[in-house]
Amino acid sequence: MSRTFLPLSLALSACLLTACVDRVANGSASGSGLDLAGMDTAVKPGDDFFAYVNGSWVKTAEIPADRSNWGVFAELREKADKRTADLIQAAADNKGQGGVAAKIGDYYASYLDEAGIDAKGLAPLKPALDRIDAIADKSALASAFGAQLRADVDALNNTNFHTDRLFGLWVAPDFNAPDHYVPYMLQGGLGLPNRDYYLKTDAKMADVQGKYRAHIATVLKLAGVADADAKAGRIYALEKKLAQAHVDQAESEEVTKANNPWKVGDFTAKAPGMDWTTFFQAAHLDGQPMIMVWHPSAFKGIAKLVGSESLDDWKAYLTFHALDHELDVLPKAFRDERFAFYDQVLNGAPKPRERWKAGVAATNAALGDAVGKLYAEKYFPPEAKARAKVMVSNIITAFGKRIDNLTWMSAQTKAKAKEKLSTLYVGIGYPDKWRDYSGLQIARGDALGNKARSELFDYQTALNKLGKPVDKTEWSMTPQTVNAVNLPLQNALNFPAAILDGAFFDAKVDDTLNYGGIGTVIGHEISHSFDDQGALFDASGRLKNWWTPADFAHFQADGARLAAQFDAYEPLPGLHVKGKQTLSENIADVAGVQASYDGWRASLAGKPAPTIQGFSGDQAFFIRYGEVHRFKAREPALRNQVLTNGHAPDFYRADTVRNVDAWYDAFKVQPGQKLYLAPKDRVKVW
């Protein structure tokens, strides 16, 4: 669960994995009730709540060989993927159909046609490689960088954000005038997940750095590039310089530092080294009155490198990334190398994903809304939407009451907070309007061309929005996505159909469990409007401080206390969770659990809470919350998450109940137990 005004975390929820929840496997949580077999009741809830709820599951569950991690999100994602695959396959089998269904089928069939991909070799990529080879000067180099600029169209799923491009484009409401769309430009250019992977010097990172250099060389050799080893060394050295120019994750998440409107004509003076006039012409941005620069210091550093580093090194860099970006639609040796580095080295997966799973992800990336329409029609009935809307209404009401009851907040700030809450747009299941793909050309048998055209189509779609009125109801996720999102610039929430399922939501179980599951997700996303970043945006989506100075100081102090709480967690020896990096998500977790609990209690209308499978209603609510954070990961994936992700590992997220008074009462948690916090030390925030 996340927010998308922050596109540059680019290490989005590690919960978004894949696996199967069609049955209860390995003692997994399902929609049928609490998973008692997955619990370890020998552990005291007050010592380790995650282990109490999930300890037996952790001991017995195996991470699938093609996965770097596993858990409830992963299982539900696999269920959604299998459903999606069936819908896509049906479209692929019906070759005679027309319209968008034909495009879905042709895209998927082309991606799965590995024999056809192998037979074509590098021929589909040759025009792009020839264009790079023809670059004769730095002006032509700037044109190449501009022509390859692409849009971040789905930040939540890390889909179509091209971190390997020198810069990224994000089209979104203007920070300062959120009634229209403007372009945001973002730091990029790295092949590894973020700057830490280049700059850290510990043994683990040194090993990854060496293997990445070897990966660069291997890709170049497979493509028949001369002097591959020497060029790989220079490419890596160039990327390391780019990494040194980047801002770190924590600074990237400071939204106020991203509010940098630059006129197109100012780039040459503010970030010399790049032929910006040529760049913007090639990117079709030369007519824009303003571009919001998210990372100004990075732009200065990157532009300087464009001017100072040799043309030959930049051409080698472009050649490698042109190949590396397309590894999944190149011949088998390239696909194998993609798995060997990105899946094995970076994430620890011992086995490649089945091609159909990769095909589902690729088709979703290209035609996600079209696939989502089919998904919603088949798997999200009107009664599920109606029931979810009732829960949303109850939790919003509960959150409003929490605002009313804050003793430290002034009436002035409360009024602004309540205004923001009252104007939230909440999308349930699927968008009000579906995207039009009539302008996207898909050709059966052209996997690489289809991918390139879909990325260009996304870019052109983004450009077409510039300067136009903002549609508050526009979704940033597809219905088949297992996640949820808060969009502060739109003051809007999206809850896709696929997360309203399984352990999160089931019409057959008591609502106690639904509030402990999807209710806490709903509360989490509402809370993102009031976390350390979302609280900086007013009801209209404008980046504006609506707090009194004293109220904001109190709010920031609470955030600092929660950050310190998470700083103390050490998932791997010597590697601590970054409390500031994960603060937004941690605030949303704490506030979300409390708002959902209050909403559930209010929904009982004075009736006693039910006993569920031998547990009191309160206990069952919190156990379900612990279950939906069921999770285990391979060491490289866990390290990657801690270094790059805005979410803390799920075992710590489950344990954040230590800040909730009702949890103490439910489980009789006592001083001396490991999670116990004195009342004054429990961080409420909201």
Q: Are residues 647 and 510 in the same domain?
A: yes
Q: Are residues 155 and 282 in the same domain?
A: yes
Q: Is 586 part of any domain?
A: yes
Assigned token pair, 446: 């052209």
Q: Is 187 part of any domain?
A: yes
> Could you give the angle at the alpha carbon of 344 between the alpha carbons of 342 and 349, nearest 5°?
115
Q: Are residues 256 and 299 in the same domain?
A: yes
Q: Are residues 298 and 390 in the same domain?
A: no
Assigned token pair, 97: 């159909």
Q: Is the pLDDT of residue 184 over 70?
A: yes
Residues 582-622: tens digit of each pLDDT = 998 999 999 999 999 999 999 999 999 999 999 999 999 99
Of 541, 519, 539, the closest CA to residue 389 belongs to 519
Residues 187-205: tens digit of each pLDDT = 999 999 999 999 999 999 9
14-23, 354-363, 561-570: segment of lowest average pLDDT: 14-23
Of 365, 373, 363, the closest CA to residue 430 belongs to 373
Q: Are residues 342 and 386 in the same domain?
A: no
Q: Is the pTM of this model over 0.95?
A: no
Residues 422-481: tens digit of each pLDDT = 999 999 999 999 999 999 999 999 999 999 999 999 999 999 999 999 999 999 999 999
Residues 76-135: tens digit of each pLDDT = 999 999 999 999 999 888 765 678 999 999 999 999 999 999 999 999 999 999 999 999
Residues 31-42: tens digit of each pLDDT = 579 999 999 999
29-43, 231-245, 672-686: segment of lowest average pLDDT: 29-43
Q: Residue 79's pLDDT is what?
A: 94
Domain of residue 322 covers: 149-353
Q: Are residues 400 and 533 in the same domain?
A: yes
Q: Is 186 part of any domain?
A: yes
End-to-end CA distance of the chain: 18
The enclosing domain of 513 has a CATH number of 3.40.390.10
462 Cβ contact list (under 8 Å, min separation 6): 151, 153, 169, 171
Q: In the sheet where 167-173 sits, what is the strand order?
A: 167-173, 181-187, 291-293, 261-262
Residues 485-543: tens digit of each pLDDT = 999 999 999 999 999 999 999 988 999 999 999 999 999 999 988 887 888 899 999 99
DSSP state of 286: T
Q: Are residues 212 and 286 in the same domain?
A: yes
Assigned token pair, 188: 């990029």
Q: Are residues 658 and 515 in the same domain?
A: yes
The enclosing domain of 223 has a CATH number of 1.10.1380.10
Q: Is 559 part of any domain?
A: yes
* Domain stops at, among 317, 337, 353: 353
Q: Is 154 part of any domain?
A: yes
Q: Residue 92's pLDDT is what?
A: 84
Report in angstroms the alpha-carbon separations of 468 from 101, 172, 182, 187, 463: 29, 10, 9, 25, 10
How many domains are there within the chain?
A: 2
Q: Residue 1's pLDDT is what?
A: 55
Q: Is 534 part of any domain?
A: yes
Residue 6 pLDDT grade (very low, low, confident, very high; cuts 50, 70, 90) = very low
Report in angstroms the alpha-carbon separations of 438 from 67, 92, 102, 457, 610: 35, 18, 11, 10, 52
Q: Residue 535's pLDDT is what?
A: 86
Q: Mean pLDDT throughout 63-67?
A: 90
Q: What is the Cα–Cα distance from 359 to 328, expressed in whole angstroms?
A: 10
AA identity, residue 154: D
Q: Are residues 320 and 260 in the same domain?
A: yes
26-40, 147-161, 273-287, 555-569: segment of lowest average pLDDT: 147-161
Q: Are residues 252 and 388 in the same domain?
A: no
* Domain stops at, among 353, 370, 390: 353
Q: Is 294 part of any domain?
A: yes
Q: Is 470 part of any domain?
A: no
Residue 213 pLDDT grade (very low, low, confident, very high; cuts 50, 70, 90) = very high
* Domain stops at, among 335, 353, 371: 353
Q: What is the Cα–Cα distance from 329 to 122, expressed in whole angstroms?
A: 10
